[in-house]
Amino acid sequence: MSVITIERKILERNEQLGQQNREWLARHGIRALNLLSSPGSGKTTLIEKTLERLGGRMKIAVIEGDVHTSLDAERVDRYGVPVAQIVTQGGCHLEARLVQQAMDKLDLTGIQLLLIENVGNLVCPANYDLGENLKVIVLSTTEGEDKPLKYAGMFRNASLLLISKMDLLPYLHFDLAALRRNALQINPALRVFEVAATTGQGMEAWCGWLEEFVAGRP
Ligand code: MG
Ligand code: ZN
């Protein structure tokens, strides 16, 4: 069917551009992460708190992906780092082409870490390589512990799982052990961190991991 052919062509083209992005980033000594989650998991807050902690220790740039508005880029902009907003105008995922355009607009001189905040969606972003080194899933304690089973494609492709909003745990019926079990069942190699950006819980471990990542270790 023609629809399938067109979709395959789009994905093939995306893969080529993703590879171009990855090569460009590698040539310029920049390590990149693709942050994935459903809407409202706390990705932007996590980025803000990460910039607060690591801003003085490494040079970071941010690309924000949203369906509408540049609200997230405005929040990140307050930290004085290079930031670009991609507005997809209804598109439910970022594509390598859009990230390439955003990279073109940014001054990435001396940048060591590029954080790409994808559109909030646990389905199709898994299929679009942006040229990142690794995918990171942010899943908050206000979501269900069954998410890894429901969105297995995403969890299979990711290297890291950040369980966010850990400070809310006492108020929720959320089975943390079950989430870990489900996530590791889908992807046994997944590294799991528990964080609460607002209280700072687990942020030192996450930032420590980022320093290792920028040094090229994981
Ligand atoms: Mg956001
Ligand atoms: Zn999509």
Looking at all shown ligands, the one closest to residue 86's CA atom is 1
The pTM is what?
0.95
- The b/e string for 106-120 (b: 16+ C-beta within 10 A; e otherwise) is bebeebbbbbbbbbb
- Expressed in angstroms and rounded, the spacing between residue 166 Cα and the centre of ligand 2 is 28
Looking at all shown ligands, the one closest to residue 121's CA atom is 2
pLDDT tens sequence across 51-88: 999 999 999 999 999 999 999 999 999 999 999 999 99
Segments in the chain forming alpha helices (H): 2-27, 43-54, 71-77, 96-105, 147-150, 152-157, 176-186, 203-214
Answer yes or no: are the C-beta atoms of 148 and 183 closer than 8 Å. yes
pLDDT tens sequence across 84-109: 999 999 999 999 999 999 999 999 99
- Expressed in angstroms and rounded, the spacing between residue 62 Cα and the centre of ligand 2 is 20
- Expressed in angstroms and rounded, the spacing between residue 6 Cα and the centre of ligand 1 is 30
- Expressed in angstroms and rounded, the spacing between residue 170 Cα and the centre of ligand 2 is 34
